[in-house]
Structure 1
Amino acid sequence: MFKLNLKIALRNLWRNKGFSLINIGGLAIGLASCMILLLYVAYEWSYDKQFTDHDKTYVVYQNAVANGKTFSWAWTPNAMAPEVKEKIPGVKYASHSTYPNAKLITSGDKKLISTVIFADQSFVKILDYKFIKGNPDQVLKGINTIILTKSFAKKIFGNEDPINKTVTLDNQDVLKVEAVIDDVPANTSINFECLMPWALFEKKESWAKEKNWGSNICLTIVQLQDNKFFAEANADMKGIYKRNQKDKFTADALLHPLDKWHLYSDFENGKSVGGKIDQLKIFLMLAFCILLIACVNFMNLSTARSERRAKEVGIRKAIGSSRKSLISQFLLESVFITFISTILAFALVEISLSYFNNLLNIKLQIDYGNIKFWIALLALMLFAGFMAGSYPALYLSSFEPIKVLKGLKIRTDSSVSIRKILVVIQFVFAACLIVCTSVIYQQLKYAKNKPIGYDKSNLIQISVEGRMREESKLELLKTQLLKSGAASHVTTFSKDITENGNNTTGISWEGKNPNEIILFNNRGIGDNFIETIGTELVSGRVFSDKFPADTNSVMLNEAAVKMMRLKNPIGAIITWGGNTRLTNVGVVKDFVVESAYQKVAPMIFYSSRRDGAAVIIVRLNPNQNISSSLEKIDELVRETEPNYPVRRKFVDESFEAKFQNEKLLGTLSNWFGGFAIFISCLGLLGLALFMAEQRKKEISIRKVLGASTANILGLLNKDFIKLVAIANLIAFPLAYIIINKWLSAFEYRVPISVLPFVLALSISLIIAILTVSIQSVKVAKANPVDALKYE
């Protein structure tokens, strides 16, 4: 019976090549789109789950109340890990480490900038990386040692065995290679190429030796013996700051699961409320919608062709076939078509994966050796096959053989109604996608074009390395950059101007409410900072070498003045850290250094002559060629510090990275929304093809009676236009709810205007009219004699 049903399925596919092509093509595109989206979701979902006890591992977060709200971050004091290990019940390991940062690693003539981490020995026990060489129980115990990843070891030593060879860190510390580990997976939150002992960090930064509860300098990771200890351990964590800071208590601590760190990174009032998981939910919904639209196409076209298969059903029933066997046959046809579509989908996925990997800057790939993948694929294929074939199978198998064989017209009212409902469902999804994609684009454009308080174009940052940290060398380089003509203005900054970090609550002033806690961003700035970045001085003056006492001066931004409620900010005495008295000499216009979607935080600036600078900020001379200016800048930097490679980048490119998630969402929505609309068009085209064929005689009679081509096109399009209009009316409230929830995450957001809804209605109507008319116009222009000559 199976063999017979398969032959019938093949025969029907061959006899109806046009419909088969539309069905297979639509399902293939739907399945391919669904597979790519699910691969991406699976990739993001697997973040930080590569480690053996990832489910028992937690990141210590700090909740601090300031500025009238709760801030949450995974920065903790160096005293946190020892305290947790000693005092918190159920803790197996507690580790502290620095966050990844760039350092120079040298071996012979090779000078490479590498991402490095300083960590204690518990780090590699909690995160059990695969050791290729070396003893995991003995690493990170010394001071001048280093662990390399496999790929970095190959970069610096080639094919030589790196064990016991030496490298130099920042041209200062000679380190012996004690182990090589497998490359850190791309889908992990802690990425590095070199791992070094925490004792080395303390050697280089002597202040890190002292246990300090007021300075958040590291990442603390905790692993429990068993998750049954979690409730008690988390409860004890809450008061850890209060127990150690006494009257200075300002924060609570909590344990945040490592395997949720990537997806649930957004906190509100000290509690995890979501993050990238919200984006994944959108992609899952998009994957389901695209597959559903493809399945709807199959249902529509199968039921539309019902009359052609009515006699087949009648004859098979007359010779003894049961309804159950007919349902089995039609479902087999559906699954068979889905199987062919899946093969084609595989080809489409393999062809397009490289493009999407470049687009998303990740490495998605199909793991053919993973049994879970094949089980998931089989489940997806069967789901699509049975879903697509369910209604046609039930509908076609319900025909009564006597009526069919007598030649009576089969009532298709119910199938027509179902087909209309299915078309409406398709265009509800399509309209929703158009509205949502339009608003995402508007929000991204708004955030990018919103004034950020300074001019980021033609602005570059150069990392201060080695001898450049010497004040005399730095001043000489600044002078040379200006004299060369490559730069119109030069200044320094204590951090990458587009990065977060460097916050303090230790600021007080006359009139401050002692119970009020305000969190300030603090940054060191150089002379000519205002002119270089292109911001404004609201009042007062800037730091200058004409004022040697500026090491005891600060500047504030407008948000800080407002938060501090200073009526006369210039000359205000500010106490920093309890005993350092500083004078405010100027007020700077608010400019963005953190999120472009949130309000600018209060900022306090100090002279970088006090603590040095991390970057040189250069405004390129607009009258010079950019390429030659960059070459000249690189040459001058190399002359100042020849032992380090030049690290520079454009500020606008760094700023662009802030919108990565929104760009990703917009790009994928555009692509797969377009696929969903295209699949809907395929279904509409097939339906229009069938409808025009069914009404060929009616159209011919109308033409004989004087109807024009335009009249006939209007007649054929009218029903579809009604369905699309109804679909939009249903889609608009749904789209509004979805997009309003998405926008609520941003303090700065575009208002939801009528434009995206008008655009969705216009596009869906134009698509429907064009799709139906492409086929209908052939019938409308056909010679009526051909259809009526046998009547």
Structure 2
Amino acid sequence: MKQIYYSWRAMSGPGNSNAIKIISVALGLLMTILLMSRMALNHSFDTCYENHRQLYQLWMQYTINGNTLDRQQQCLGKLAGAIYEELPEMVVAATTTSRNMGQGLFRGDTKFSEKAIAADSLFFKTMGIEVLKGDPVIDLTQKDVVYLSESYALMIFGGDDPIGEVLKYNNEWELTVKGIYRDLPDNVTTPHKAVISMPSLWSREWGNYSWNGGDSWPEFIRVADGVDPVELNRRINEMLQKNLPDTESLQLVIDASPLTDTYMSNDEVRRMDRIMLVLSLALLFITTLNYVLITIASLSKRAKSIGIHKCNGAGSPTIFSMFIIETLMVLGCALVLMVILTLAFGDMIKDTINITPKQMLE
């Protein structure tokens, strides 16, 4: 207890530059945690789905006249359904989606412009999204049906029950609300607030849903426990060759990879992730070095008090422990200041790196 008391007296005394130490450490930690929080968010994309390690996204890669193109998320319309039918021992669910549904929903003359997608009846089962009301396996096989997220239904209908209510897509198609599902967080690669039944598109001949072109459908599969990804991809590509039209100038390869790898597969995201890692480690090192240098610079002013402690019987271990306690006190004050700065500048932080103070402090 005496060591804590003397450490506090030393901290509160003049000439120890403790204010500079606390501000320096607080700012250094704040910037380091900001960068690491953004990195953690990048690596947490698409982990919100139930059993997310079993959820895979399908990618296609064309080779045309010997030129291999980049992988693409847009796939042939028939692909996911064929995988589900022909590989039942490996794939427990599959879904085809369309992201080209950005016109918005209308209730009367009021437009709601949250993101909507179209999907087939196995969408919620495949993705592992909790359905709060409705039976999507039945409802999404019907034309002109829409499921709303919990927050979107509240936005449109307030506290009223939305089931059975009619909305309009692009103020043209009438869509009947038949279900509500749990909201997704921001860190997903396929964000949406509404899911429109795929037959709504098919009945209007929207897009080419076949083996012959029409590669505009993001598709996902849910694999069984213990499935070998290499064997899965081999079987998928064997099945693909049986269904593709014969052509010598075009080859196509399918790659099923975990959905959690999708966001980090972007070259720009990986590059920024590496940059943030280097910057965060450099900031942490500079903050530590800065604290050490300020402490060393103040030793000449502390020599008299250290001498008094030694004259009163304090040994080197005791003096060292007092410096450790003082360092812990500075660190504690810096953490408090860091939390205050985080809360005070929360809006600016969110606008800059898309991280909320709550996500940082978690």
| Partner SS state of residue 53, structure 2 | helix
Tell me the TM-score normalised to structure 1 length. Answer: 0.43
Partner of 1:193: 193
Write the mapping of 1:530-541 to structure 2, written as runs, cut at 5 A: none
1:223–1:325: structure 2 CA closer, same or farther, 3 Å change rule?
Answer: farther
Write the mapping of 1:104-119 to structure 2, written as runs, cut at 5 A: 104-119=104-119
CA distance in 1, matches of 2:226, 2:182: 28
Q: Say if 1:76 and 1:217, in contact at 8 Å, map to a contact too.
A: yes
Partner of 1:262: 263
Q: Say if 2:124 and 2:131, in contact at 8 Å, map to a contact too.
A: no
CA distance in 2, matches of 1:300, 1:69: 55
Deviation at 1:96, TM superposition (A): 0.8
Higher relative contact order (CA 8 A, sep 6+): 2
| Partner SS state of residue 111, structure 2 | strand
CA distance in 2, matches of 1:239, 1:68: 22
Partner of 1:293: 286
Q: Say if 2:211 and 2:243, in contact at 8 Å, map to a contact too.
A: no
1:340–1:146: structure 2 CA closer, same or farther, 3 Å change rule?
Answer: same
Partner of 1:605: none
Q: Letter of the aligned partner of 1:254 in structure 2?
A: D
Partner of 1:441: none
Partner of 1:45: 43
Q: Say if 1:79 and 1:213, in contact at 8 Å, map to a contact too.
A: no
1:54 aligns with 2:55: no
Deviation at 1:206, TM superposition (A): 6.2
1:33 aligns with 2:16: no
1:230 aligns with 2:223: no
1:349 aligns with 2:361: no
Q: Letter of the aligned partner of 1:264 in structure 2?
A: S
Q: Say if 1:62 and 1:74, in contact at 8 Å, map to a contact too.
A: yes
| Partner SS state of residue 118, structure 1 | strand
Partner of 1:10: 8
Q: Letter of the aligned partner of 1:365 in structure 2?
A: P
Deviation at 1:316, TM superposition (A): 4.5
Q: Letter of the aligned partner of 1:232 in structure 2?
A: E
| Partner SS state of residue 71, structure 2 | strand
| Partner SS state of residue 204, structure 1 | coil
CA distance in 2, matches of 1:345, 1:206: 53
Partner of 1:87: 86
Q: Letter of the aligned partner of 2:63 in structure 1?
A: V
Deviation at 1:208, TM superposition (A): 4.3
Tell me the TM-score normalised to structure 2 length. Answer: 0.89
Partner of 1:101: 101
CA distance in 2, matches of 1:230, 1:346: 44
In the alignment, structure 2 segments of 5+ residues that lack a partner are: none
Match for 1:281 among 251, 262, 274?
274
1:136–1:246: structure 2 CA closer, same or farther, 3 Å change rule?
Answer: closer
Q: Say if 1:56 and 1:227, in contact at 8 Å, map to a contact too.
A: no
Deviation at 1:127, TM superposition (A): 2.0
CA distance in 2, matches of 1:13, 1:280: 39
In the alignment, structure 1 segments of 5+ residues that lack a partner are: 267-274, 374-791
Deviation at 1:312, TM superposition (A): 4.6
Identical amino acids, percent of aligned pairs: 20
Q: Say if 1:100 and 1:190, in contact at 8 Å, map to a contact too.
A: no
1:126 aligns with 2:141: no
Deviation at 1:80, TM superposition (A): 0.4
1:319–1:87: structure 2 CA closer, same or farther, 3 Å change rule?
Answer: farther
Q: Letter of the aligned partner of 1:107 in structure 2?
A: R
1:139–1:41: structure 2 CA closer, same or farther, 3 Å change rule?
Answer: farther
CA distance in 2, matches of 1:254, 1:158: 43
1:202 aligns with 2:199: no
Partner of 2:302: 309
| Partner SS state of residue 102, structure 1 | coil
1:8–1:304: structure 2 CA closer, same or farther, 3 Å change rule?
Answer: same
| Partner SS state of residue 103, structure 1 | coil
**Structure number having the greater helix percentage:** 1
Q: Say if 1:100 and 1:192, in contact at 8 Å, map to a contact too.
A: no
Deviation at 1:119, TM superposition (A): 0.7
1:114–1:26: structure 2 CA closer, same or farther, 3 Å change rule?
Answer: closer
Partner of 1:154: 154
CA distance in 2, matches of 1:24, 1:17: 14
1:291–1:206: structure 2 CA closer, same or farther, 3 Å change rule?
Answer: closer
Give the length in aligned residue pairs. 358
Q: Give RMSD over aligned pairs.
A: 2.6
Q: Letter of the aligned partner of 1:147 in structure 2?
A: Y
Q: Say if 1:43 and 1:364, in contact at 8 Å, map to a contact too.
A: no
Deviation at 1:71, TM superposition (A): 1.9
CA distance in 2, matches of 1:8, 1:128: 58
CA distance in 2, matches of 1:259, 1:100: 22
| Partner SS state of residue 250, structure 1 | strand
CA distance in 1, matches of 2:212, 2:314: 81
Q: Letter of the aligned partner of 1:36 in structure 2?
A: L
1:212 aligns with 2:211: yes
Q: Say if 2:57 and 2:221, in contact at 8 Å, map to a contact too.
A: yes
Over residues 257-306 of structure 1, what are the superposed CA-to-partner deviations in whole Å (9 max), with x where a residue is unaligned?
A: 2111112124xxxxxxxx41321221122122222212111111212233
Q: Letter of the aligned partner of 2:293 in structure 1?
A: N
Deviation at 1:50, TM superposition (A): 0.7
| Partner SS state of residue 159, structure 1 | coil
Q: Letter of the aligned partner of 1:364 in structure 2?
A: T
Q: Say if 1:145 and 1:178, in contact at 8 Å, map to a contact too.
A: yes
CA distance in 2, matches of 1:104, 1:299: 57
CA distance in 2, matches of 1:241, 1:125: 24
CA distance in 2, matches of 1:33, 1:325: 34
1:354–1:170: structure 2 CA closer, same or farther, 3 Å change rule?
Answer: closer
Q: Say if 2:74 and 2:215, in contact at 8 Å, map to a contact too.
A: yes
Q: Letter of the aligned partner of 2:287 in structure 1?
A: A
CA distance in 1, matches of 2:314, 2:77: 78
Q: Letter of the aligned partner of 1:42 in structure 2?
A: A
Deviation at 1:117, TM superposition (A): 1.2
1:309–1:130: structure 2 CA closer, same or farther, 3 Å change rule?
Answer: same
CA distance in 1, matches of 2:2, 2:226: 56
Q: Which segment is superposed worse, 337-346 or 284-293?
A: 284-293
Q: Say if 2:97 and 2:219, in contact at 8 Å, map to a contact too.
A: yes
1:366 aligns with 2:355: no
1:338 aligns with 2:328: no
